[in-house]
Amino acid sequence: MFTTPSLGMRRLILWITGLLCPAALALGWWLSPRWEMLLLLPATLWLCASLIPRCSWWGPQMCEFPTRKREALITFDNAPHPVETPLVLDLLRAEGAKGLFFLTGVQAMQYPEIVKQIVADGHGLGIHGMSYQPSRFWWRSPGRVRSEVETALGVVRQILPDYKVAWFRAPGGRRGPWLHPVLASYEMQLMLWSSDDGAPGVRDFETSVIRMRRDIQQGAIIALHHGHQDREGEPVVPDLVRELLLWLRGQGYKLGED
């Protein structure tokens, strides 16, 4: 389902920032530095809206999809991966399951044949932008955000001229106030997740499986991250996909198959 922002919450945060920050700085200069503590309010609002994944203060985001059936969607971040993505495609193909792969423009340029294979197998594509940098993306300027989205879309168009990208996932789920207006201009929507593998904070296979199973419900969007390894340095995603496919089938879930 889409989470929708509280009425005027985005506008309220921007107004508070625009009015309170100059006032706090002026009062701190003329009266006492203690007045600069007022800056904590807009800073807290910005951080909550930007860094808490399910917070919808900047705009709507899909965390689950509406369905009356027992269905789930497996998504893959930081794609395509030269080793993991082909293995994942084989696993999904064997089960007749469909997924959604979020690309970075840089990796798509490096591995265009894998991108073509993803679509040829009937899976969907979304984008992160040109790179996957959760610690930086959320505070980038409006122009930089637009450039990230526009350039990544251009890469996909070069590889698959007729493909229409409809979904965007902010790296790590972190996004700033400029993202939604940019996505709207390209007729795209923000997708997050309801269940994830815990990367990069959780690298243990068993812990990741338990975490995901706990959060999977009807209409779940499951997020897995390419490129993360366990404590022994082995890739986690292929084994997670095997385990998930078996468990989801056992629970009666459909996974986007025709």
Put the strands of the sheet holding 195-196 in their side by side order.
Answer: 189-190, 167-168, 124-129, 99-104, 72-79, 220-225, 195-196
**Gap between the terminal Cα atoms of the chain:** 22
- Residue 96 zone, left/alpha/beta (φ > 0; ψ -120 to 50; rest): left
Give pLDDT tens digits along the chain (258 positions).
545 555 467 777 776 776 656 655 665 555 666 655 656 666 788 788 888 888 888 889 999 998 888 999 999 999 999 999 999 999 999 999 999 999 999 999 999 999 999 999 999 999 999 999 988 898 899 999 999 999 999 999 999 999 999 999 999 999 999 999 999 999 999 999 999 887 654 556 777 788 888 889 999 999 999 987 777 777 888 989 999 999 999 999 988 754
* Cβ-proximal residues to 121 (8 Å cutoff; 6+ apart), any chain: 89, 92, 93
Spell out the residues 6+ positions from residue 64 whose beta carbon is closer than 8 angstroms to its own.
Answer: 1, 194, 217, 219, 220, 221
pTM, entire model: 0.88
